[in-house]
Amino acid sequence: MVNVIGEQIRQTRQARRLSLSDVAGRAKISVATLSRIERDKQGLELGLFLTLCKILRTSPRELLGTESADNVDPLAVRIAALNHTERVELWRELAAARRGDKRNAIRNRLHRLGDEVEELLAQLEFVRAEMESVHSSVRKR
């Protein structure tokens, strides 16, 4: 009989003597969501799967099992095949990419704001020069 991922998560959680509440809290999901996942009533996205692996101190390969590989997303199988060091590096790269996207967005906004400030300063300089010119011509009269 092939074990499905939810049952494997439940068995691992119980073997570690962790409550639904403990794991759900650390994974930042509701107890109800984790319960549905464990009963295979709700799908499990890759990011959450990897988070649960980390919380349960197990490898993706152990949770997936070799028998269930046909029913699992090929990407999850490939990630499960990574050794610990490679998985850690993958996590770091994903986190950096996520932070980088936010930083790039902020950098782009600041760049646009900087351009707008430069344009405004140039306009103010132009208006100041015009006012000085008008002021000079009025003095000469």
Cut 0.75: pTM above it: no
**Residue 2 has what pLDDT?**
43
Instruction: Dump pLDDT digits (tens) for 67-119.
Output: 444 566 677 767 777 777 777 777 777 777 777 666 666 666 777 777 778 88
Left (φ > 0), alpha (ψ -120 to 50) or beta: where does 17 sit?
A: left
- Alpha-carbon distance 19 to 28, whole Å? 14
